[in-house]
Structure 1
């Protein structure tokens, strides 16, 4: 029986970014250096396959520092942590390794600088997301106000409209963030912002690739975890860019084949914490059902690389 033809638009860049690569390498090197178990506070990145792979090598994932024994190393996730977290580890004399993405660390430094200059901070982000919690935790309580939407700006209660600055979560939708920034600047003309937007290069690049292929696709699949902010934003971007159907899947097993019945043009991408092996599984699943023509959609080249912390560099 002849398989139906299907054009599969494959986004590039997709999948792992430099910050995720670095975070995974940090856990692996920590296990090599100190042996198992090495404790990791929170999921190192938001992907079940990655977490399970590291768990098999000897990583133990905990939500809080006190859940780890004081005589074992603890790694902080790529999303960053509040200042109270390393302080707690230091009080217990623990070996601590910071896997915070350098681009998130940059936002932390911005926040601290604004605070030192006497400015109250507005954080554009998602409530409860580990990165937002970590960034807001860089400053004393009340010094950071959270806004999630442009509508939130209208009800913002600030200490002094002349002494404000804003930062953003690095994994947001570029377009949605622009709307919130515009609302902030309209209401608070004196507000200070970053010289360059905080949204990371990888988030921006992956969203641009989705925008480029959306008009040509009847459906777009995003490989990523439900708790991955950048993956969920890719689904939103696909829909806003005109693709009639966009689905977030963790693995090929979650593809809704009934929803794709009769579709002849599909886009495929992956969030910044999704390994390429999961993309390949999706490709194989389509090839089992269709005569697939893969059409790469390349919108950027990435060659960013971040060093691991000094405590692991000699071992590496």
Structure 2
């Protein structure tokens, strides 16, 4: 019952956030269309439209752009790569990534768990961490690749790090973010336009009067999902535990380090990730998932992982 409630709470928070973003962006775009309608009517034969007709036009434009962003393969992921500084892994890094994922795939096959197709990325940071984004991307931090390469059970640790991020992909956590991005882009174009015309008399004041309050509402809506994002982290942890067991995941948590800003109740609830120690404690309190399938990696995988 707790698991069902968690799924409902996560999806409901995203749906509420999307609804607020889409409606607020629609209102802002509709009001921003008023000056353009006067310009079009003054210099062209563009017919006069009432508010309902403009509302339909704006809604169609939002839907068209939303559909385009989500349908073009790799479009959102391309911009995510730029934002995160994620790059394609080198051949040497692939020789480390592939054995770890192959080991994970063997366990998933034994437990009848389907893993998604993954496009691997690497972020050049020293942190022992990873992140999932887009529809099929997992980026491993260079620090995680370096640290696990020299550990006795580094292949299993890297596989556990991957398993957590795969949990996000399987539960559509990253797809939820893609949908939010697609809903935001039309409004972000309006924000860019506002930055260009803000110094113009009257028009700049009109745009700022519309854009700034809507921007505040949208910012609050995007942050609202943080209230359930910690549930999503626990859910991804439990998926990884299902594959690799409690011991491997606890080793990963022992290697993670974090610096959390703020100690008040607001900082606690608006942080997207729960404290690592609480995540580790959550797994320790749970029964393990069918540990009889958690065989150690084959020697050839370990050789490929460490000797490159």
TM-score (norm 1): 0.23
Structure with more of its chain in helix, by fraction: 2
Structure with more of its chain in strand, by fraction: 1
